[in-house]
Amino acid sequence: MKLFIFSLFMLLSVNSAFANESKAVSIGEYSNMFWDAGEDPHCLSGFNLGLYKFNKEIVGRIGMANGSEEPASGVLYDIKYEPKRHYLSFKAKLSAGSESVPGIIKKDRPSKELLEFSGKITSNAVIGTMVQKDGYYLSEKGTSTKIKLIRLNKKQNLDLSLEEWENMKALSTTWQ
């Protein structure tokens, strides 16, 4: 009987461990977004960043102000994290709406933004350089900005499996 109870306990423990590993755990939410104070607030400037961990893999998403009620957002890819140096880098592709270029583009097209971040993550902030490039002209240098995203008090876990996250990342890192 003791062997049966021990075996059952071990089986439940192993299943519980695998169940915990199948969902993302929040590392932190960071932001420097500035919103207007009107009745219908709009995001005027800045970024927000959510970092999560699946087992040993770091995943995340970023939002970028675009003057609307909802920031443009994208899934992080090419994430590099070195805990000993507190180094963090990533890329994200997103669209901040539609754009038109008089004399060049006859109708509106979705914007394509490539964000490339390189910097450090501390206990209360993500600090570094964000390079923003036009996805239609990736060979151009882009705009480089020093940013500091402050850690927010909230932690938001993702209710996605690693497989679901990878599928979402595959869709979001491909421009149409």
| CA 114 to chain centroid | 13
Question: What three-state secondary structure class fits 154?
Answer: coil
pLDDT at 30: 92
Question: What three-state secondary structure class fits 7?
Answer: helix
pLDDT at 155: 61
Sequence-distant (6+) residues with CB within 8 A of 141 are 133
Q: Mean pLDDT by 10-residue block, N- to C-terminus, for the chain (176 residues)?
A: 35 36 78 74 76 86 76 87 94 81 72 93 95 88 94 68 69 59
Please say whether the beta carbons of 89 and 117 come within 8 A: yes
pLDDT at 119: 98
pLDDT at 41: 62
The CA angle 17-19-22, to the nearest 5 degrees, is 110
User: Strand 72-82 relative to strand 57-64: parallel, antiparallel, unpaired?
Assistant: antiparallel
Extended beta strands in 56-175, E state = 57-64, 72-82, 87-94, 98-99, 109-110, 113-121, 125-134, 143-151
pLDDT at 171: 62
pLDDT at 82: 92
pLDDT at 158: 57
The CA angle 17-21-27, to the nearest 5 degrees, is 125
